[in-house]
Amino acid sequence: MRTRVPHLFVASLLVSGLIAACGKAPGDATVVLGIKSKLTPGIGLDSMHVVITTGGEIAVDERYSSASKDLEFPIELRLEGLNGGETVEATIEATAGGAPAIERLAATEAVGGKEVLLAVELEAACIEIGGGPSCTAPQTCVKGGCRDSHVAGESLPAYEPDWATATTDICKPKGGGEPIITVGEGQADYLPMNDGALAQIEAGPQGGHHVWVAVRLKNLTQSGSITSLTGKFPDLGYEVGPFNVIFTFDPDEGGYCKIYGLRFQLDTQHDIQEMLGKKLEITATVTDKDGDVGIGKKTVTLSNDILGG
């Protein structure tokens, strides 16, 4: 990581000076602007200009150049002594071949008592001269498309020194919290299901009978997790399962992931005719490769008929 103590020191001094000028006591919030890129300095990019404002006043104005060998990613700029709720806005302008290439905006607000990371990546897909989009503020280019440049401070991760090199798991982001599991239904996708919902029994290709189960989850690893289904018939005293699979989860909306098309066989030990119309308590347990465990439950009512039977 490119550590530039003078720049970080200047950033802190500027913020402290602004606070003093405004007659405010220093706050206990910190925002770290982290900039990374896969573009090679001197080839993909040749210079970068970073301006950061806090509370509407310029706190950082830094220039980097491949010619002077100080354009080396990742770069961090730390803004300390901020008050909770204070705005932080960054404009990053990069050139390639001497011509404007990328203008990246990023904005958030400080969170009292916390040190958060506002991470920005300069991407090839956002180079305008290479076909990237031209976005109008407050939108900015992210992954080749125009998106809102503002990220709520409360949603930002805590700063970690290895932020630029740590592997990102879309299903288990760093600092995401406790595992969340929701049991649903679906053969071709995850479909939400309420307690008491009707679950259609189907005849399987090898003589058994099953219902389709799907699971929506958060904060468990995308690959290498074990999904285990068990069931209980409270009226019959029967238990079913476990049915275990190790499948990679698909990304879903809102930071969730999902798995679907789980054929949960019911009649491994008992006659399916006894189960028609009965209540079934389904438990989904997901254990990831880090040892974290999430559990979700749903009670359904089985159909009185068998599809395909």
Token duo for residue 245: 């699979």
Q: How confident is the model at residue 8 (pLDDT cuts 50, 70, 90)?
A: very low
Q: Which amino acid is at 31?
A: V
pTM of the model: 0.55
Beta carbons of 263 and 240 less than 8 angstroms apart: no
Residue 197 CA to residue 298 CA, distance in Å, equals 9
Report the C-alpha gap between 144 and 121 in whole angstroms: 12
With 0-12 / 13-18 / 19 or more C-beta atoms within 10 angstroms meaning exposed / middle / buried, residue 184 is buried
Comparing 32-41, 159-168, 176-185, the range with the smallest average pLDDT is 159-168
The whole-angstrom separation of Cα 87 and Cα 85 is 6
Q: Which two tokens stand for residue 120?
A: 């920005």
* Residue 156 backbone dihedrals phi, psi, to 5 degrees: -75, 150
| pLDDT for the residue 17 | 41
Higher-pLDDT residue of 170, 228:
228
* Least confident range of 131-145, 160-174, 231-245, 286-300: 160-174
CA dihedral angle for residue 21, residue 26, residue 29, residue 35, rounded to 10 degrees: 40
Q: Can you tell me the distance from the alpha carbon of 145 to that of 163, in angstroms, rounded to the nearest whole number?
A: 23
Residues 72-82 have pLDDT tens digits of 999 999 999 99
Q: Which is it for strands 293-307 and 198-203: parallel, antiparallel or unpaired?
A: parallel
Q: State the Cα–Cα distance between residues 234 and 108, nearest whole angstrom.
A: 51
Residue 199's pLDDT is 97
pLDDT at residue 1 is higher than 60: no
Side chain identity at residue 128, one-letter code: E
Q: How confident is the model at residue 13 (pLDDT cuts 50, 70, 90)?
A: very low
Angle at 264 between CA 261 and CA 269, to 5 degrees: 160
Mean pLDDT, the chain, whole residue set: 90
β-strand pairing of 257-265 with 180-184: unpaired
Q: Does residue 70 register a pLDDT over 50?
A: yes
Q: 273 pLDDT exceeds 60?
A: yes
Domains of the chain: 5-155 (no CATH), 180-307 (2.60.40.2550)
The band of 3, judged by pLDDT with boundaries at 50, 70 and 90, is very low
**pLDDT tens digits for 33-49?**
999 999 999 988 999 99
The single-letter code of the amino acid at 248 is T
